[in-house]
Copies of this chain bind each other. A is one copy, B any other.
Amino acid sequence: MSDCERHKIMAIDREKRDRIINAAMKEFNKGYKNASTDAIVKEAGISKGLLFHYFGSKDKLLDFIIEYAIEVVVKEYFELINFEQRDILERIWQTVLLKFDLSYKYPMMFDFLTTAYKENMNGVVLEMYGRVMSEFTPRFFSGIDESLFKDGIEPKMAMNVIYWTQVGYSHSQLEQIDSTDIIDFQKEYERYLSEIQSYFDLFRKIFYK
């Protein structure tokens, strides 16, 4: 993607640009072929001509969205995690907060990137993302203070349980949000965090000395 085109896109009014990006991520999350540009413009509330005026083609739109999504996730998620925190519960807690902050602006970001990576929507760029990810995961689970765990508790299993619980809880919340109408985000945010925190308290009690 040429800098010229990218500059044109980044000059769009911020709120409208995010509406297009979110609509595109939601639609491309169905897979490249199943994604419809008509559905994207409808969701974003713009005309079809404007979409092609800015992005040129469906492929270029996808390329931009992938590059943009990776850039945001790297800068506002991967790079913000403090690896000096050797308490795994606290380390995972950071990711809960960071993911939640990101999903406020871009609700489909992580789901979209997962789909894009699985379908290999853009070979070159996603290969880079794959490298970032495959370096991240082992790093995330290494340098952990295992002395915090009770004797007889397998740290690897405990970490999986913590991770899966957090994923499971998020999903159960997402289902409820889908079925309800527009919600008070601030209020939901607090309830969500306090509930998931109670699970972390439970884990601290059962897994830690």
The interface-forming segment of A1-9, A93-101, A154-162, A180-188 is A154-162
**Which residue of B is nearest A178, CB measured?**
B118
Point out the residue from B152, B153, B161, B169 that lies within 8 Å of A199, measured CB to CB: B161
Point out the residue from B153, B163, B199 that lies within 8 Å of A157, measured CB to CB: B199
A202 and B149 CA atoms in complex are apart in Å by 13
A interface, by DSSP: helix, strand, loop or mixed? helix
Complex contact B161–A165 (CB within 8 A): yes
Point out the residue from B31, B157, B168, B198 that lies within 8 Å of A164, measured CB to CB: B168
- A64 interface residue (CB < 8 Å to B): no
Report how many copies the assembly holds.
2
- A147 interface residue (CB < 8 Å to B): no
**Which residue of B is nearest A199, CB measured?**
B157
Mark contacts of A29-58 with chain B using CB atoms, 8 A cut-off: 1 yes-contact digit, 0 otherwise: 011001000000000000000000000000
Point out the residue from B154, B160, B205 that lies within 8 Å of A165, measured CB to CB: B160
Mark contacts of A197-209 with chain B using CB atoms, 8 A cut-off: 1 yes-contact digit, 0 otherwise: 0110010011100
List residues of chain B with CB within 8 A of the CB of A153: 202, 206
**A171-199 residues at the B interface, CB under 8 angstroms:** 198-199
- Residue numbers of A with Cβ under 8 A of B are 30-31, 34, 152-154, 157-158, 160-161, 163-165, 167-169, 198-199, 202, 205-207
